[in-house]
Amino acid sequence: MPLTRRQALASAAAAVASTVAKPAIAAKEPILIGYLPALTGPSSSTGVGINRGIQLAVQEINAAGGIDGRQIELITRDTQSDPTKAVNGAAELTRGQKVSVVFGPVNSGESLAVVPLLARTNTPQVHPCWVDTLTDPKKYPMCFRNAPTNQQIGGAANRYVVDVLKHKKVAVISDTTGYGTASVNAYVPMLKAKGAEVVYQSNVDAANPDLKPEILRMRSAGAEAIMPWSVNAGFLSRIINTRGQMEWNVPIVGQTTLGSGQTQALLEKPDYWAKVYPNNFRPVCYTPDGKLTDRTTAFLDRLKSAKIEMADTLLWWIALGYDSPRMIAEAMKNVGSEAEQIVGYLNNLKEFPGVYGDMSFTPDRHDGYPDEEVVMVEANSLKNGAFKLAPGYSA
């Protein structure tokens, strides 16, 4: 069909308009980051803490001009601590909102459902969940973890008991949940590989109101340290209380919940919390002389000036939340907001300076948190959401 002069002019004008106007609009469009926190529901305490850091970081990035003039817009879908709602939220973020990156979910149960889904939609994802299988560069090449794995958590506790406290006879106990039994199964061989003797090993119903039989059995077996793996504050407090009642002075070393306010509230005497050492992270801990690193001190000052509450949460949650959008923004500033470019950048990220810890990835390892930063702390030293390093660590 012959082209008329009017049609040719119109199509030429449209072509010019499309090439000129599009970048102008794109430059003003916000960059959409999907965000899947659990802000309500039974597992929301982590999400609420992380959320405070995320909001502060996004405010700071946008106040500083955003990413090449484009503001960051967080598209938040509260998972309500429910994997089904997390999956629905992830589907809407990728298919409806077409976000560039997703941060979250922040609980492992939700991530187990969401990670395969996001992998199918080729959406870059950063999450802070500990379950080992939640990263796999082959199965989930766009998924990165900016937190430790369960292996690192258990490894740090084992190192503390065997290498720092020099105890060789260890009792390992867990509740009967999937997390508890999986932890015991994973950590006992690691302890044995370090030369420790596991003199007691058991999974116990967390609802059992009397743990004296178990603790007596540990003592009879000659245990020099108790390592409980559970997120159930009732179960953990019963272990601590029974040890206190029996006046058995061995250290209790294990999961972060040992140092939580819920566990503390269930102790029969405050003194029973002595010699209890939960996991934590060195950059957000007080050194033995009561100091924080310069980077963390500056971060605390920013939190105070932004009037962010810290007393009812943990500093590492806020720090983790704060680092996450900054790391994503760093990638976008350098390579743009296309999925492949972001993943390519993160695959070669080296020591991104976070408050929570320096993050590094390689194409073969998408677990960014450094081993040596996972440490143990004194449970009864909580101040402003941070703990003091357990005895035996150098400053």
Partner 1 sequence: MVSSIVLSGTAIGCIYALIAVTYNVMFSASRVFSFTAGTLGMLGGVLGSLFIARMGLPVAIGFLLVLAGGAVLGIVTEIVAVRPVLKSLDQHLYVLSTLALALMIQQFTAIEWSTEPLPFPRLFDIARVEFDQQFWLPMLACLVVIVSLELLYRHTLIGHAFIAIAEDNYAARALGLPERRLRMTSFALAGVIGTLAGFAGGEMLLAFFANAPMLTFYGFVPVALGGMGNNRGAVVAGLMLGLFQQTANFLVGGIFASVAVFSVFIIVLLARPEGLVGAALQRRV
Residue 241 beta carbon to partner 1: minimum distance, rounded to whole angstroms: 10
Cβ nearer to partner 1, comparing 205 with 351: 205
**What φ, ψ does residue 265 adopt, rounded to 5°?**
-65, -20
CB of 89 to partner 1, least distance (A): 20
279 close to 230: Cβ distance less than 8 angstroms: no
Task: Give residues 222-251 in contact with partner 1 (rule: CB under 8 A).
Answer: 232-234, 237, 245
Share of the chain residues as helix, strand and coil, in percent rounded to the nearest 5: 50, 20, 35
Q: Of 248 and 393, which has the nearer Cβ to partner 1? A: 248
Stretch that binds partner 1, among 164-172, 264-272, 285-293, 307-315 (CB under 8 A): 264-272
| Contact between 213 and partner 1 per CB under 8 A | yes
- Which member of 202, 334, 348, 384 binds partner 1 (CB under 8 A)? 202
Of 228, 211, 213, 210, the residue nearest 171 (C-alpha): 228
Q: Residues 64, 80: contact at Cβ < 8 Å?
A: no
Residue 203 or 337: which CB sits closer to partner 1?
203
Among 185, 262, 293, 381, binds partner 1 (CB under 8 A): 262
Q: Is 177 in the site for partner 1 (CB under 8 A)?
A: no
By CB under 8 A, residue 271 contacts partner 1: no
**Site size with partner 1, rule: CB under 8 A:** 24
* Interaction between residue 219 and partner 1 (CB under 8 A): no
212 makes contact with partner 1 (CB under 8 A): yes
Q: How far is the CB of 353 from partner 1 (least distance, A)?
A: 35
Rule CB under 8 A: say whether 198 interacts with partner 1.
no
**Minimum CB–partner distance for residue 15 and partner 1 (Å):** 58
For residue 181 the two structure tokens come to 């039994």
Beta-bridge mates of residue 97: none
Asked whether the beta carbons of 86 and 60 are under 8 A apart, the reply is no
Closest CA to 187 of 134, 231, 150: 150
Cβ atoms of residues 161 and 253 within 8 Å: yes
Residue nearer to partner 1 on the CB measure, 152 or 263 = 263
Q: With binding defined as CB under 8 A, does residue 26 bind partner 1?
A: no
Task: Rank residues 215 and 284 by Cβ distance to partner 1 and give the closer one.
Answer: 215
Query: What is the DSSP secondary-structure string of 307-347?
Result: T---TTS-HHHHHHHHHHHHHHHHHHHHH-S-HHHHHHHHH
Give the three-class secondary structure for 216.
helix
Q: Are 52 and 313 contacting, i.e. CB atoms less than 8 angstroms apart? A: yes
- Selected from 12, 16, 21, 207, the binder of partner 1 by CB under 8 A is 207
What lies within 8 Å, CB to CB, of 154 at 6+ separation is 183, 186, 187, 190, 229
The site for partner 1 (CB under 8 A) is made up of: 42, 176, 202-205, 207-210, 212-214, 216-217, 232-234, 237, 245, 262, 265-266, 268
